[in-house]
Chain A
Amino acid sequence: MKPKMKRYKKGLLISSCVFFGLALILCIHIYIVTKPKVDANTLAMARIDFKQSIDQQDAEKITAWLYHQNGVDHVFCNKDSRIAVFTYYPFKTNASAITDKLSKGLNYKAERIIPTREELQNGCPAMAHSYSAKIYSLIKNIF
């Protein structure tokens, strides 16, 4: 009776170790695949507000200048709202550095707009996902 009990306990211990080991590996895997990361294909958008009036000629000059920066993908400058938006590859360049360079190089009073955490929680209804879609997305990320 005693050796049988001993064997049962040993089996239970091994099974538990294997189970927790696999669970740990799964947790690490989920962390790695869902952790936000920037890679060569990540495309981000940045916004620069001009603290001075700009005309069509300025808008064209700013657009052309931004297009010449390494890592910048697409540019749009609205003279009426005094805003320039551009997409860029964070893997290659830094939007804040581009904004500083633009201010100094072209001599414009320009400021990069970075939203606060609270602002990011609000607005843009298209970003709201149903629970089923969130689960689907998580599973898709894991496997």
Chain B
Amino acid sequence: MKKTILFAIAVTCSVAFFNACTKSSSSPTASTASLTLYDSLGGTTMVADPAHSGSMIEKGRLTIRSVVDSTIFVIAADTSINDAFKVLLTEVGQGNLSGFQALSTNLTDFICVGTGAKDFTYGGKSMTDAHNPATNPRMTGKADNGDFNSFEADLTKGAAKNGVPSTAPVFVSLAKIVESLRGQVVQM
């Protein structure tokens, strides 16, 4: 019995030691070699949050949130797709979040995760389920290529309003990620 316990402790210690060695030897290589798009947007550097005085926010998230918020404004005033975004005009929805705040948070989370952020999670449905009327009752019909093109055009305008032109490498990378979702969003 004693031998079994000692053996278990020895194995546990060996595994822990091996893991520790693996982490310490691989981390520096990973941090220098594989910079994510989130890193190039400012990454985890903490900066003051202009929307909440006294609060700090990761620079990468702040950049993404600024573009998302600008895009939401463009969408809300764009008659080609704003019918699908009436929820933006609710004053208070879940908790003390308005429709605008909830959508801003959800989209920001989604893009943060998609660009490689490690400190956030996206709690929404998958892109396929979210845009499928069979799995998402909010969708009264399927989105077509025209809807998706309008969304991309509004995203471009939103970025431009934040001083990020469509030719900027960061925006090109972001646009590629968004475009890669077309097959999941357009299900016709």
Contact = CB atoms under 8 A, between A and B. Distances in A.
Interface stretch (B5-13, B18-26, B29-37, B73-81): B73-81
A85 B91 contact: no
Contacts of B97: 42
Contact of B106 (A90, A126, A141): A126
Contact of B91 (A90, A137, A141): A90
Given A43-B98, A43-B100, A120-B90, A126 B130 contact: yes
B28 to A, nearest CB: 33
Nearest to B86: A115
A22 interface: no
A42 B89 contact: no
B48 interface: no
B89 A123 contact: no
Given A84-B77, A125-B125, A128-B138, A37 B96 contact: yes
A10 to B, nearest CB: 43
Contact of B140 (A47, A122, A130): A122
Interface stretch (A13-21, A64-72, A74-82, A101-109): A74-82
Contacts of A77: 77
Interface string A98-137: 0000000000000001110001111111111110110011
Interface residues of A, number: 42
B48 to A, nearest CB: 16
Contacts of A122: 84, 86, 138-140
Interface in B64-87: 69, 72-74, 76-79, 82-87
Contacts of B77: 47, 76-78, 81, 83-85
B107 to A, nearest CB: 6
Contact of B136 (A44, A90, A125): A125
Given A36-B94, A130-B124, A125 B89 contact: no
B87 A123 contact: yes
Interface of B: 52, 69, 72-74, 76-79, 82-103, 106-107, 110, 123-125, 129-131, 136-140
23 contacts: A36-B95, A36-B96, A38-B96, A42-B92, A44-B90, A45-B76, A45-B99, A47-B82, A47-B89, A76-B73, A83-B77, A115-B87, A115-B89, A120-B90, A123-B87, A124-B86, A125-B131, A125-B138, A126-B107, A128-B130, A128-B136, A130-B123, A130-B124
Closest 10 CB pairs of A and B: A133-B123, A123-B84, A78-B77, A125-B130, A115-B86, A45-B100, A44-B98, A76-B73, A83-B77, A85-B76
Given A74-B69, A78-B77, 19 more contacts: A36-B94, A36-B96, A37-B96, A38-B91, A38-B92, A45-B72, A45-B89, A45-B99, A47-B77, A76-B74, A76-B76, A84-B77, A121-B138, A122-B140, A123-B84, A125-B131, A126-B107, A128-B138, A141-B95
